[in-house]
């Protein structure tokens, strides 16, 4: 064939090839007959469906099943019902509904989008987050709820969000800090950012917030709230500045609080040494212990995904391996445990952390008191016991000196006549009282002049007593009349013969 015939054949083939190419493109395109058509007033590109600023009052239907990103922002969709997506959208991972005047979201609105990872409900008119509102979104990672009218948050609104990393609740009307979202890390274990700025918070649980890990406090935004000024709040913010946490460093001017008599809010960081609070400067990571105690030094880094870490003691010793040797041991969570504290353990410890992008060094100052934990109490008890003993000794001495019964001094001049020799045995052996006169305390001394009654046995004067018989002479011993007051009269009914 000639050149003209060849050209004609190429033209014929080209005429057939162009429609075939368009057919192949139509079949390969996701918007072909097999996948559905692009909704009116929307822009479709690959698996992205953008219907922003399309003056829509409802979600367009039907939605292509392969849609991965659906942008419905800046429309008039005021209610999101359960049937907005009649079919399952297994590929949808981003849903944008900001600036719609949205005031109602059904608790079943997300049942057909289980793989959603990014949800934007910001700049709407939501007033409350109902029970289990987002419980169907087990794979959600980012949730934007800022610039709404939210004043009530149900405790179960964020249940089952185990993968949520960022939660934006700023510019709402929240008056109570939702501490349950952060406590123990059980509700939102992956949460790394919580924005509560520009709400109506007047107080914060400072103690529990300070106990949070630094990587979470690094993205805990609290500026723009009408907080009441106090020193614990200042300590929280000042420690954040010392650690150079982003939530403090980026918004120092917006971190303000209200003093009772001040006409305008004041900077929280300006409370140091300022009347009437006169808050003291914050010290970072100061730990106190006593001799013999066991303490744990936390490596509170703001880095996540730490690759390695080690500690350096005040003496320059490196603690690298878990378990360690001696009194220092590196725990699995990166903390350093010191057992049986000694005075030489005091000083500044350094924790070196290596992260995926940068490194960080933390310093912990340890103060060791030179006594055991119960030492002061034991010393106080010993001093108290000694004082009481001294007081009792003085009291006993005074009792001995001034309250002991004294002998009658006026009776010393009157001496008793010597007793007969034969009466000495009875008076010394059988008598219960000494054989000499004893004055009775409190009574006047009695005269020993002769009277109708003479002294009886034991040197006592008896009134109406038994008279003594006249003395008998002879080799035989005389019989003595028993004295009713003597010991012999008590223990025997017969007279004693000497």
Each residue's pLDDT tens digit, 21-49 = 333 333 344 444 435 678 888 999 989 99
SS3 labels along 220-264: EECCCCCEECCHHHHHHHHHHHHCCCHHHHCCCCCCEEECCCCCC
Is pLDDT at 214 greater than 70 in this prediction?
A: yes
Distances (CA, A) of 423 to 434, 456, 477, 487, 495: 13, 11, 12, 14, 14
Domains of the chain plus CATH, in order, are: 287-369 (2.60.40.10)
Each residue's pLDDT tens digit, 464-489 = 444 455 545 444 444 444 444 444 44
Q: How far apart are CA 83 and CA 88, in angstroms?
A: 11
Each residue's pLDDT tens digit, 49-107 = 999 999 999 999 888 888 999 999 999 999 999 989 878 899 999 999 999 999 999 99
Q: How far apart are CA 95 and CA 69, in angstroms?
A: 6
At 126 the pLDDT is 97
User: Strand, helix or coil at 322?
Assistant: strand
Question: Which of 109-118, 189-198, 215-224, 295-304 has the weakest average pLDDT?
Answer: 295-304
Q: How far apart are CA 52 and CA 73, in angstroms?
A: 5
Residues linked to residue 329 through DSSP beta bridges, in sequence order: 337
At 382 the pLDDT is 60
Look-up of token digits 């990872």: 117
407 pLDDT band, cuts 50/70/90, is: low
């Amino acid at each position: 064939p000639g050149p003209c015939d060849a050209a004609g054949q190429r033209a014929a083939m080209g005429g057939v090839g162009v429609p075939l190419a368009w057919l192949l493109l139509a079949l390969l395109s996701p918007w072909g007959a097999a996948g559905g058509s692009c909704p009116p007033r929307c822009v479709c590109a690959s698996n992205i469906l953008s219907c922003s600023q399309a003056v829509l009052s409802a979600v367009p239907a039907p939605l292509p099943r392969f849609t991965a990103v659906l942008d419905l922002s800046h429309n008039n969709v005021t209610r999101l019902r359960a049937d907005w997506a009649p079919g399952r959208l297994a590929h949808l991972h981003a849903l944008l509904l900001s600036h719609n005047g949205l005031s109602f979201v059904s608790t079943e609105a997300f049942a057909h989008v289980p793989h959603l990872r990014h949800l934007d409900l910001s700049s709407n008119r939501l007033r409350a987050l109902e029970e289990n509102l987002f419980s169907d979104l087990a794979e959600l990672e980012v949730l934007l709820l800022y610039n709404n009218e939210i004043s009530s948050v149900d405790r179960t609104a964020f249940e089952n969000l185990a993968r949520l990393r960022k939660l934006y609740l700023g510019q709402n009307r929240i008056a109570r800090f939702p501490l349950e979202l952060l406590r123990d890390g059980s509700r939102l274990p992956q949460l790394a950012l919580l924005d509560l700025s520009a709400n109506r918070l007047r107080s914060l649980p400072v103690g529990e917030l300070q106990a949070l890990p630094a990587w979470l406090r690094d993205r805990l935004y609290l500026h723009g709230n009408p907080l009441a000024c106090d020193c614990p709040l200042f300590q929280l913010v000042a420690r954040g500045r010392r650690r150079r946490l982003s939530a403090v460093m980026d918004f120092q001017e917006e971190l303000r609080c209200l003093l009772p008599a001040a006409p305008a809010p004041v900077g929280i960081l300006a409370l140091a040494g300022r009347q009437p609070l006169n808050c003291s400067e914050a010290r970072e990571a100061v730990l106190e212990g006593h001799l013999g105690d066991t303490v744990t030094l936390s490596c509170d880094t703001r880095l996540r995904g730490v690759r390695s870490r080690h500690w350096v003691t005040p003496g320059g010793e490196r603690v690298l391996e878990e378990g360690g040797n001696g009194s220092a041991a590196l725990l699995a969570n990166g903390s350093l445990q010191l057992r049986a504290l000694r005075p030489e353990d005091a000083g500044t410890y350094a924790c070196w952390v290596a992260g995926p992008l940068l490194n960080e060094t933390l310093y912990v100052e340890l103060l060791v008191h030179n006594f055991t934990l119960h030492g002061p109490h034991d010393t106080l008890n010993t001093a108290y016991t000694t004082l009481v003993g001294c007081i009792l000794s003085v009291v006993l001495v005074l009792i001995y000196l001034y309250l002991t019964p004294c002998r009658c001094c006026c009776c010393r001049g009157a001496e008793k006549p010597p007793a007969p020799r034969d009466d000495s045995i009875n008076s010394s052996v059988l008598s219960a009282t000494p054989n000499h006169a004893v004055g009775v305390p409190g009574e006047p001394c009695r005269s020993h002049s002769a009277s109708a009654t003479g002294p009886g046995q034991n040197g006592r004067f008896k009134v109406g007593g038994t008279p003594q018989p006249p003395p008998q002479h002879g080799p035989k011993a005389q019989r003595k009349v028993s004295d009713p007051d003597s010991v012999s009269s008590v223990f025997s009914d017969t007279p004693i013969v000497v």
